[in-house]
Every structure is written in structure tokens, then in C-alpha cells.
Structure 1
Amino acid sequence: MEEEFEFDFTEDPKLSVERYEEMIRNQDQYFFDAQAFENIIDYYIDKNDPVKALQVIDYAVMQHPYAAIFHIKKAQLNVFTNEITQAFESLEKAELLEPSDPDIYMIKGNIYESMDRHEDALENLKKALQMAENKDEVLMQIAFVYQNMGDYDEAVTYLKLCLENNMENQDALYELAFCYDVLDKQEESIQFYEQYIDNEPYSFAAWYNLGNAFHKLSLFEKAIDAYDYAILIKDSFASAYFNKGNALVQLDRFDEAIEVYRQTFEYEKPNADTYCAIGECYEKLEKMDEARSFYKKSVKMDPKLADAWYGIGVTLDFEERYFESLHFYKKALNIDDQNPDYWFAIADAHYKLGNLKDSEAAYEKVVELNPLDTEAWLDYSSVVFEQDNIPKCIEIIALGIKNNPDSAELYYRFVAYLFANGEYNEALNQLEIALNTDVEKNYLLFEYLPQLQTNKVIVDIINRFSK
């Protein structure tokens, strides 16, 4: 019969592991207290070796049959190895031994959530909440379940409880901002973060989220102030610099934005998004060489960043290098073929190259993807007009008006095409609608068909509306 030794290595986890591995090598039986076994199990979990961790649990259960912790650890490993039935069995054993351990119900809740059984998940998590000393994690999990159910209002309730429980829980702060964003309740978000900051004025995360809420309401000056406070508290907060740069861009303060974007490089490695943002600032400043240089850095770091390929195309387009620009627009489109801006740029480049059929096909795609783009409807119809297909122009603009019934620009163009097609009565009817929509824009009609300026009937109607 093998001799059994007892060791207590709770003070030194590494020593526990060494003695355990010695026991396995010697095919011997040593006794370890429960804490030592926990240390050994955690060691193998940290080393991502679930098989050895489960082996230790088997020894631990033999030596400590009434300790629920080992069944709980086994359940966690069962979940990790996707053995869900075994996980539930382990949790049942743990529950028999220690029914007041919140981890049992936390794990159950998480398993049910992974199975999309939200109600069962909530039932177990709320049970865990009653028992848990540290309620943070449980409240966060409950909030996540409500998010997955699409009940963001209830998620907000639990995230606020989480913050009441621990004001420094940054994850809860960011999740709360996300929920307010989904609910489109930016004013409520601002109110919450301002109150929170009254109690926690040095929370950089709160100032940052406040800045984001201001940004979404287009209150860019206020957003910049909030980002500045976040940076003042944590000067290495790269995301705050980046978002401040974005706010400066919205205010057309491109030189300042470039400086702020560059500051992110002091605190994190340059990334493709920041290079692309700097490129866009230089583009807006019409410094195309610098813009192209940064766009190229961006695609070198991330060849899948469509906006950077598109940006290179824009710089070439500006220099009237349309054939080259088309190549880069197409690279952007290969990555994201549902982006109407890319199709618009391709349509415009084809038009400038005299490829009217290709331009027409691209404009058709633009209005399909973004039927609210009135400029695209106008340009699309112009390309068709140049091919002398006036009936199709009329169809295009009629469809444009159907999607944009308040667009005076489309009505005036409609009038021009109807006149060009000899449909004078309908043209005069549409002219009255155009004048009712926006009388000040009647000049658009003459911009497109200057010869109508001598048409007495049209001039009389416009004069009547102008009075």
C-alpha cells in the first residue's frame, strides 16, 4: 500500500504545483489542502491546459468530497471545452453541497445566455445577485442579457445599479454610453454623465463619454471641452485625442485636428484609422501630396481600409488624374460595394473620362443605395440627358421626387425636362409645385435651360409667385 503524505503549500502556489507534478511522476498519493488544490487548478487554467486542470480536480474531489469549489471549477472548464451537459451536472453537485454559492448561478446564467434562453439566464443571475458580496460582475451580466434581448432601457437600469455599487466601474460607464446611443437618448446620457461627474470629477471615462454624447448631438465645442478634461486627467488617453480630432474636423479646424491626431502617436502605435483621418484633413486643406502620403501609410497598415483607398482616389481626382483615381475608387469598392459615396465617385470619374454609359450605370447604383441623395438624382439624369434620352430623364427625376418630395432642385429639373420633351402643360403644373416648394430657387430652371428666360408664360408665373 502506497504511503500518503500531507503537504500544506498554501503560502507558495508554485511549490504546490511542483509537489503535485512530483506526485504524478512518482505515481504516489500526497494530501493537499483545498486552497493548494485551487492554486494548482488555477495554474493549469492560466497555462490554457484544461485537460491537466480537470485531472487535478478529480484528485481534489477525492480528497475533499464536500468542497463545492471543485465542482464549480469543473463546470467552468466544462463550459470552456463546450461540454454543456457535464457543466450542468457539475453545478448540480456543487448546489447540493453549497446552495448559497453565487458562482453556481452565475455560471448557469451564462450557459443559458449562450443558449439564447434569456429568461432562464436572468432567473439564475438574479439569484446570484441576492447572494453575491461583490455585485458588480453580476449586475453587468444581467445588463448584457437585457442588451441581447433588445431591452436597452432595462440594461440601463442595471448598469446604473452597477455604478451605484461601484462608481469606478469603467466598463459599466462605457456600456451605459452604448445603451444610450442605441436608444438615441443623448440628452439623457449627457444629464447622467454630468451628474456622475459632480460626484466623480476625476473620472476620465465619464468626461470621455460625455464628450461622445455632445459629439453625437453636433455640440462639437462642448465635446472638445469634455475631451480636454479627459486628457487633463489622463494625458495618455489616445482615444480622447482621436475623438477630439474628429470634433475639430467637424468644425473645419483641420490644422488643429492634424496636431491632435498626431498626439495619439505619443501614447499608442500609429494605426491605419488615424493615418486615414490625417490624410482626410490634408485633403480638406487641398494639400494633396501630404494627404496621399498619409492615405498610403494607412493602406500599408490595413489594406482592407476602404476609406483610405477612396481618399487616394479623391486626391488624384483633384489633380484631374481621373483614370488613375478610378483605379483606387474601384479598390475601395471591392472592399465595400454597398457604399454610395464610392459609387458616386466612380460615376463622376467615368463622366469626366467621357464614359457616359459606365457613369450612368454607377449613378443608378448610387440612387439605389441612397435614394435621398438629390445631387445623385440630378447628375444621373444629366448623364442620360447628354445621351438624348429625355423620356428616361423624366422617369429618373419623377422617381427622385417620389423619394425626396420636398426637394425644389428636383422639381425645377423636372420642369426643364418636361419642356425639353414638349410636355408644356405638365411642365407648367410642375413649375407651380416647384415655386410653392421654394420660389427663391427658380434660377435653377434657367441655369439648366437658359432659353426659357425668354418664355413669357414662365416669367409671368414666376413673377406672380415672387410677389
Structure 2
Amino acid sequence: MEQRIKRDVNLLNLVSDFESKYEQGNLEYLDEKTINQLVDYYERELQIDKAMEVVDLAIEQFQYRAEYLILKARMLYMEGELKAALKILEKASLMAPGEKDILTLKIKIYCQKKDYSTAKMLLDDLRSMCYGEDMIEVYIAEAIIFECEKNFEMMYICLKKALRLDHSNAEALDKFWRAVESSKNHDDSIAFHKSLIDENPYNHIAWYNLGMSYSFNGDYVKAGESLEFAYIIQPDFEQAYTEHGEVCLQNQWFEQALQIFTEVNNKFGPDSDHMVTIAICLLHLGKVEKAKQVLQKAMKLDPYNEEVYFNLGKCFEAKGNWYSAINAYLKAIEIDNGTDSFYHSLARAYVEVEDYNKATINYHKATQLGSDNPALWAEYACFLIRLGLYDEANQILDDAEDHTYGAELLYCRSITYFFLKMKKDGLDILEEALAEDFEKHTIIFSLAPELEIDKEINAMIKYYEREYKEFA
């Protein structure tokens, strides 16, 4: 730790000294190590203009070397300045006509321009220059072309070939998860990454990719273990931390998720989104006041983060402070008016304060934005049924049928028919609902407890209950 702090201080001193001399016009000769340190620093800090200034100085200083021209072209490519990047590469080609990095970067640029025929011609040129382990560059370049063409199966195959030659190649490993995710080769990916880890147990990206494939396959315990190995091996691997945290959150392992995201926030610096996640964990663990404190800190970091206000609303809701919850939800909607859950929560809060007109308006907005979610429509219909608006509830259920399907909608429909004295139709729909999803049948009695004494309804439920238990 002491050595790392000393190294960081030395780097900051180097940067400060460079910037001071650069501004004063007193810049001396820069050696290659200093140039590379400065470029790496500015790129990490996302100060691309300053990184480019350093590279320009290097080009001026080392006029007959291609490497800094290639570096500048790469930076221009990353900034989307494709024409300028190609122009620089043509100049570099005159100095180093057989340089494979020039061809590889040109392939990437022509892929970005969607000129795949030129990219493939350049790939053939690259292939003619590569033998043995150098073929890894060909396979990666070929994978890039297949990725741009959305041929993810072939992209996956090419990257496997690359990693068989060099199982620690960072570029191939970085791209590999994209290939796995898009080609759906998760089972093969698990076996393949296990073999890479057998070769090198300290391959942190292989552990990360393995964890992601386990997660996709629903093996969340192994996913968490693999992702944890990734950041134990590489302590600065923030993405592995956050993915592990997301796995825990998805499985409602809130204590573990809280621990991980707290560590991320402490280790990599305060982040509004991570603090929202910490607050969500605290809220689920019943630590409402602590969750509010975290969200208020997140608000200071980013006053335009709609999730901060939405989850503040959840904190107020947990304490029964409905008017405060309403204000928080309205603020979230002011920032982002396209999220169905915001309107849904606002509608429920208006129900609690018995402002049924505003509740109706917000249920309507929620179902328009989340039209494929049957639970939203069902809750809207249930709200209307409780108000005795059976025809209106039926209309909402008609609208829902245009967008989605679910047993909860069938149960709601059957209840409206019972209340509208259309018992035969109600029983027909109830039978369909019971066959579709027996577990949700309690909706009926929560909305209409008087139906519990109806013999026909009870007989039908008992029949499907036997079937449900038999096949459970």
C-alpha cells in the first residue's frame, strides 16, 4: 500500500511538473517512459485532449517513428474521427509498411465505416503477414468484422481460437463476453473458461466471464464465487464488484449486496447510482432512516438522479408518510417522465390519501408506459373494482388484452362478471384462470370476500386445488 501511494504521488508530481512547464513554454525533452506515463494518466482521467497534446509532442520529438502516429490514430478512432485517423495511418504506413498494428487499426476503422469489403481485404493482408502465435491478431481482427456484421457465432469461434493461442490476451477476453452473450453459448463458455483458469488460475477476466455465464444460466452461487475471485485477483476490477453485487440484489441477498456496494463506494469513490443501490438494500433490511441518509448524500452528488427521489419516496412510504412520498415521486417524474414504476407508485400513494382522480390518472399513465406488464393492468382493474366501477374495470381489462396476457387479468375479469350478475361468464373465466395459474386465485376473495360462501366457486377451486397439488 505504501509503495502504491508513493507511486501515485510521483505520478501526480510528474503530471503537475509537465503541465506547469507546458503552460510556461519551458518544456524540455520528454523520454519515452514519461510520455507513456502521461498518456496513460490522461486517458484514465478521460482528459483525451491533454493526452493528444502529449502524443503530438512525441510525434514532433520522434519524427521518424511510427508508434506515436499509430497511438494518435487509435485515439482519433476512439473519438470517432475516422477520416483523420486514416490519414495519420497512411503517414505511419510510409514509415513502417509492415506494421501489423496499422492494419489492425485500419480494419477497425473500416468496420466502423461499415466498409466490410475493404476490412476483409486488409484482413487478408494481415493474414499473409502472420504465422504461429501472431495469428492471434488475425483472429481478433476477424472477430471484430464478424461483430460488426452481427455474426456473433463466428465472432465467438474466432475469439476462442485467439484465446487458445494466448489464454491471457486482454483484448480477446474483453470481447469474449460480448460474443458469449450475443451467441448464447453459455454452456460452452463455462467449460472453455474453466480450461483457461486451469491454465492460469489468476486470469481475472476469465473468472469474470465464467461468473457472467453462470449468472445467465441461473447458477447464482457459482456466479458470485467466480466474480468474487475476479476482484480478489484484480482489486481494481470495479465491474466484477458491481456484477457480483447485482447478482446478490437479484436474488434478494440484501446483506451481501449491501456489503459489496458499500465496499465499491468506499474503494472507487462516491457514486450516486451505487448509493441508491445501498439505500435499496438498507430499505429491504428495514433500516429506513439510514437509507434516507444515504439517499440525501446521493442527492448532493447528483441532484438529477431520478432514482434518488423515487427511492426516497419508498422510504417515506415505508413510514406511512404518504404526502412526502407523493412529493418525492413527483420529483422523480419531473426528471424522468418515461418510467412506469414511478407513476405506479404515485398512483398507489394517491389511493392511500383517497385522491382517487389522481390515482386513476397515474394508473392510466403507468399502464400506457408498462403496457406489457399484466400486474400493472390487474392492479388498475382491482382499484376500479374496489370503487365499484365494474364497467370501467371491464374496459381496462379489454385494453389490457390488446397488450398482454396473464392469469391475474382473468381473475379480475371473472370478479367483474360476478358483480355484474353475469355468473355463468364469470365461472367460465374463473375456470380458465384456475387452469392458468392456481396460486393467484386468492385475488378473488381479497376483492370479494362475500364469494367465499359461494358453493359453485368453492367447488371449482377445490377441484383445481387437487390438480395443483397432484402436479406440484
- How would you bin the TM-score normalised by the shorter chain? 0.7 to 0.9
TM-score (norm 1): 0.76
Give the equivalent residue in structure 2 for 1:188: 188
Alpha-carbon distance, 1:462 to partner = 4.6
Aligned residue in 2 for 1:220 = 220
Distance 1:296 1:53, change over 3 A: same
Shift of 1:274: 2.4
Partner of 2:447: 448
Q: Which residue of 2 aligns with 1:427?
A: 426
Q: Could you tell me which runs of 5 or more consecutive residues in structure 1 were left unpaired when the two chains were aligned.
A: 1-35, 61-66
> In structure 2, what is the equivalent of residue 148 of structure 1?
148
Q: 1:49 to 1:228 in 2, by over 3 A?
A: closer
State the match for 2:107 in structure 1. Answer: 109
Q: Which moved more, 1:249-258 or 1:151-160?
A: 249-258
The answer to whether 1:119 aligns with 2:106 is no
Where 1:267 maps in the other structure, the secondary structure is: helix
Secondary structure of the structure 2 residue equivalent to 1:286? coil
Q: 1:316 to 1:141 in 2, by over 3 A?
A: farther
* Secondary structure of residue in 2 paired with 1:48: helix
Q: CA RMSD in A?
A: 3.9
Fraction of identical pairs, as percent: 21
Cα distance in 1, alignment partners of residues 105 and 436 from structure 2: 62
2:43 corresponding residue in structure 1: none
Change (3 A) 1:115 1:98: same
CA distance in 1, matches of 2:388, 2:252: 41
Q: 1:451 to 1:268 in 2, by over 3 A?
A: closer
- d(CA) in 1 for partners of 2:225, 2:57: 53
**2:355 partner letter:** N
* Structure 1 contact 276–308 (Cα < 8 Å) conserved: yes
Q: 1:281 to 1:454 in 2, by over 3 A?
A: closer
Give the 5 Å matches for 1:170-189. 170-189=170-189
Give how far 1:313 is off: 1.1
Q: Residues of 2 paired with 1:147 and 1:198: CA distance?
A: 28
Q: Map 1:351-430 to 2 at 5 A.
A: 351-400=351-400, 403-407=403-407, 409-430=408-429
What secondary structure, in the 3-state scheme, does the structure 2 residue paired with 1:182 have?
helix
Is residue 284 of structure 2 the alignment partner of residue 279 of structure 1?
A: no
- Residue 260 of structure 1 corresponds to 260
Q: Deviations over 1:266-293 (max 9, x none)?
A: 5322322322221111100111111111
Unaligned runs of 5+ in 2: 1-31, 40-48, 467-472
Q: Deviation of residue 89 (structure 1)?
A: 10
Q: Distance in 1 between matches of 2:85 and 2:461?
A: 81
Question: C-alpha offsets along residues 302-342 of structure 1, whole Å, 9 cap, x if unaligned?
Answer: 33433222111110111111222122223333443332222
Distance 1:55 1:390, change over 3 A: same
> 2:200: which partner in 1?
200
Cα distance in 2, alignment partners of residues 401 and 376 from structure 1: 13
C-alpha distance 82-390 of structure 1, shift in aligned 2 (>3 A): closer
How far does residue 202 in structure 1 lie from its aligned partner after superposition? 1.4
Structure-2-length-normalised TM-score? 0.75
Q: Alpha-carbon deviation of 1:265?
A: 4.7
- Structure 2 SS opposite 1:191: helix
Q: Is the 8 A contact 1:71 1:94 kept in 2?
A: no
Deviations 1:16-42 (A, max 9, x none): xxxxxxxxxxxxxxxxxxxx9xx9xx9
Q: Which moved more, 1:398-407 or 1:249-258?
A: 398-407
Q: Contact 2:245–2:257 at 8 Å: present in 1 too? A: yes
Secondary structure at 1:320's aligned position in 2?
coil
Question: For residues 421 and 289 of structure 1, what CA distance do their matches in structure 2 show?
Answer: 46
Name the residue aligned to 1:327: 327
Q: Distance in 2 between matches of 1:223 and 1:176?
A: 17
Q: Distance in 2 between matches of 1:226 and 1:245?
A: 12
CA contact (8 A) 2:52 2:75 kept: no
